[in-house]
């Protein structure tokens, strides 16, 4: 059932053509007192969520809302109880980046009962009809950009190969992970099938390449095992597809400790500070920049529309079915980042200071 749903979603993702980017349309301040918005974030451990939370809080306050911002240390029970508190303390809208997309059905039924609207933030909340909108980046496009990068760098259509590839994706409870993996594997699978790409570990299917909690340590220990079984004899590893920066960091740490051959291509996502530093040092090849300021601005527009009883801005009404129907979505555009353009993207735009990347 899940597999079928996933392939329907992927087909829809490929067909989706409504993407128009993600403008920064934060509403002007209305001076406070517009009601309370609960913002539930998964964890402070990963840098991007700190940025998401801070941007949401700042922009919601500027638009006149009270904000209850909570982080749940990647613990599902903690996130559920934080949402229960938001409901009982009078939040009018909930903005939720779920830890496990399938675990919020019961608490969100309570929200619906209380007339509270829910926006799924970045990650889709599955199997709940309480979700009104979904604000995210084009997750399938993230994977496509990573796969295309490997394809171009190895010149897979012309070079003789074969090239050795290993694959690391994200948490199975995060619906996004399947889109990232799906986008990349759709580009790379033909070359795995015709033998130009060889995955020596044999680990290709989603379940075999998933990383619980997106954890750097889990990715690192899986890479340790892959190197010792397949690359310790000097066999060259040409590329590692990593769906995001936390997994890329684990892979990089493992390679630094255990691998002596030529450095492989390594992909990533988020432009976390540690990973941008690795890009500058030549240890990570690319990342995907998802400007969380733009995602926050779009989400605040959605909150505003809900509060005013108007329609929220969406640009995709076909891709993201959460099991209860398609959730109207706004997909921001993910941007390719590497050592050549990071200054413009990250420093000139004020996302990071130059000092943060030293
Ligand atoms: C987000 C990624 C992030 C990952 C791990 C995903 O849902 O879209 O940006 O790297 O979670 O936190």
215-227 burial: b if 16+ Cβ within 10 Å, else e: bbebbbebbbebb
Mark whether 270 and 305 lie in a shared domain: no
Q: Tell whether 6 is covered by a domain.
A: no
What confidence tier does 11 reach under pLDDT thresholds 50, 70, 90?
very low
- Per residue in 142-200, pLDDT (tens digit) is 999 999 999 999 999 999 999 999 999 999 999 999 999 999 999 999 999 999 999 99
Question: Among the atoms of ligand 1, which is closest to the Cα of residue 49?
Answer: 12
Torsion of CA 326, 306, 83, 295, to 10 degrees: 70
- Per residue in 213-254, pLDDT (tens digit) is 999 999 999 999 999 999 999 999 999 999 999 999 999 999
pLDDT for res 32: 56
pLDDT for res 266: 98
Cβ 82 under 6 angstroms from ligand 1: no
Question: Among the atoms of ligand 1, which is closest to the Cα of residue 136?
Answer: 8
Average pLDDT over residues 58-74: 96
Q: Tell whether 113 is covered by a domain.
A: yes
Q: Tell whether 350 is covered by a domain.
A: no
Distance, in Å, from the CA atom of 9 to the CA atom of 52, rounded to the nearest integer, reads: 26
Cβ 163 under 6 angstroms from ligand 1: no
Mark whether 161 and 214 lie in a shared domain: yes
Q: Which of 259, 289, 319 represents a domain boundary (last residue)?
A: 289
pTM to 2 decimal places: 0.91
Backbone region of residue 161 per phi and psi (left: phi > 0; alpha: psi in -120 to 50; beta: other values): left
Mark whether 153 and 99 lie in a shared domain: no
Total structural domains within the chain: 2
Q: Tell whether 105 is covered by a domain.
A: yes
Distance, in Å, from the CA atom of 55 to the CA atom of 41, rounded to the nearest integer, reads: 12
Mutate to test the pocket of ligand 1, among 44, 48, 96 (most ligand atoms within 8 A of CB): 48
Q: Where residue 111 sits, what CATH number does that domain have?
A: 3.40.50.2300
Cβ 176 under 6 angstroms from ligand 1: yes
Cβ 46 under 6 angstroms from ligand 1: yes
Q: Tell whether 341 is covered by a domain.
A: no
Cβ 191 under 6 angstroms from ligand 1: no
Dig out the tokens for 117 from the structure: 């609207």
**CA separation (Å) from 222 to 108, 136, 152, 254, 285?**
35, 29, 26, 9, 20
Residue 63 has pLDDT above 70, yes or no: yes
Dig out the tokens for 209 from the structure: 């390449």
pLDDT for res 33: 82
Q: In this structure, is the dihedral angle defined by the CA atoms of residues 28, 32, 34 and 38, taken in order, positive or negative?
A: positive
pLDDT for res 351: 94
Mutate to test the pocket of ligand 1, among 50, 124, 270, 334 (most ligand atoms within 8 A of CB): 270
Mark whether 49 and 84 lie in a shared domain: yes
DSSP string, 69-98: EEE-TT-HHHHHHHHHHHHHTT-SEEEE--
Cβ 270 under 6 angstroms from ligand 1: yes
Mark whether 119 and 166 lie in a shared domain: no
Q: Tell me how far the alpha carbon of residue 69 lies from the centroid of ligand 1, in angstroms.
A: 18
Percentage of the chain with pLDDT > 90? Answer: 90
Parent domain of 99: 22-138+292-332
- Per residue in 291-335, pLDDT (tens digit) is 999 999 999 999 999 999 999 999 999 999 999 999 999 999 999
Secondary structure (3-state) at 339: coil
Question: Among the atoms of ligand 1, which is closest to the Cα of residue 180?
Answer: 8
Residue 91 has pLDDT above 80, yes or no: yes
Mark whether 162 and 254 lie in a shared domain: yes
Dig out the tokens for 215 from the structure: 């954890």
Mutate to test the pocket of ligand 1, among 41, 73, 122, 125 (most ligand atoms within 8 A of CB): 122
How many C-beta atoms surround the C-beta of residue 204 within 10 A? 16
């Amino acid at each position: 059932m899940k597999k079928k749903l996933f392939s329907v979603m992927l087909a829809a993702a490929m067909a989706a053509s409504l993407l128009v980017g993600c403008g920064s349309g934060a509403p002007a301040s209305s001076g406070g007192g517009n009601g309370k918005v609960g913002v539930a974030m998964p964890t402070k451990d990963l840098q991007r969520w700190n940025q998401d939370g801070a941007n949401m809080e700042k922009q919601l306050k500027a638009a006149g809302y009270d904000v209850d911002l909570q982080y749940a240390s990647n613990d599902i029970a903690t996130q559920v109880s934080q949402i229960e508190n938001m409901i009982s303390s009078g939040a009018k809208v909930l903005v939720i980046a779920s830890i496990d997309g399938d675990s919020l059905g019961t608490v969100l039924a309570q929200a619906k009962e209380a007339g509270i609207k829910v926006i799924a933030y970045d990650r889709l909340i599955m199997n709940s009809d309480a979700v009104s909108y979904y604000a995210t980046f084009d997750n399938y496009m993230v994977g496509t950009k990573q796969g295309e990068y490997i394809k171009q760098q190895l010149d897979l259509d012309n070079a003789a190969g074969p090239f050795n590839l290993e694959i690391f994706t994200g948490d199975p409870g995060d619906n996004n992970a399947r889109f990232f993996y799906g986008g990349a594997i759709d580009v790379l699978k033909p070359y795995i099938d015709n033998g130009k790409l060889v995955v020596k570990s044999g680990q290709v299917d989603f379940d075999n390449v998933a990383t619980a909690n997106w954890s750097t340590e889990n990715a690192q220990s899986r890479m340790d095992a892959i190197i010792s079984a397949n690359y310790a004899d000097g066999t060259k590893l040409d590329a590692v597809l990593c769906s995001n920066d936390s997994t890329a960091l684990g892979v990089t740490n493992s390679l630094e400790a255990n691998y002596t051959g030529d450095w492989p291509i390594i992909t990533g996502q988020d432009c976390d500070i540690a990973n941008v530093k690795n890009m500058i040092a030549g240890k990570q090849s690319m990342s995907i920049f998802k400007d969380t300021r733009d995602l926050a601005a779009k989400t605040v527009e959605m909150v505003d529309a809900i509060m005013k009883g108007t329609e929220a801005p969406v640009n995709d009404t076909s891709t993201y079915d959460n099991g209860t129907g398609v959730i109207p979505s706004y997909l921001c555009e993910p941007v390719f980042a590497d050592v050549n353009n990071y200054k413009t993207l990250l420093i000139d735009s004020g996302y990071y200071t130059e000092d943060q990347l030293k």
